[in-house]
Structure formats: C-alpha cells, structure tokens
Amino acid sequence: MPKMKSHRGASKRFSRTGSGKLRRNKANRNHILTNKSTKQKRQFRGSEEIAANDVPRVERLLPYS
C-alpha cells in the first residue's frame, strides 16, 4: 500500500507543539485592517490551540505530523 499524503493546505496552516497539541494562527489579520481597532489587531497576533472537537479532523489531514 502506498504512503499516505499529507494535505498540503493543512500542513501550511497547522503545526504541532512540543507536547503534540495542534496550533493554528488566528483569523482576520490579513486585509481591511484600517477598519479594525488597534486592540482587535493586537489580539489577532500569535496562535492558539485548535478546539478539541476539530482535532480528529485535522489529524486525518496530517497523518505524519
């Protein structure tokens, strides 16, 4: 049986932490930033853990991560 391929779009969006949890970047920080407050833009920085109910779906997309 051939090797499974990772979903290339998912592999660019999600990453693993050292303890094996999945992380994602926050949305809404790409364009139309003039209409968003400084507080909003500051809170969009960084990344956060994926919700528990989404983890199985993302792990299917990333079999080798």
**Do residues 24 and 50 lie in contact, with contact meaning Cβ atoms separated by under 8 Å?**
yes
Q: What would the mean pLDDT of 12-25 be, rounded to a whole number?
A: 96
pTM: 0.83
Instruction: For residue 55, name the pLDDT band (cuts at 50, 70, 90).
Output: very high
* Average pLDDT of span 13-36: 96
Q: Residue 60 corresponds to which tokens in the numbers above?
A: 């299917």
Predicted pLDDT of residue 15: 96
Sort residue 42 into left (φ over 0), alpha (ψ -120 to 50) or beta. Answer: alpha
Q: What is the mean pLDDT of the chain?
A: 96
Domains assigned to the chain: 8-61 (4.10.410.60)
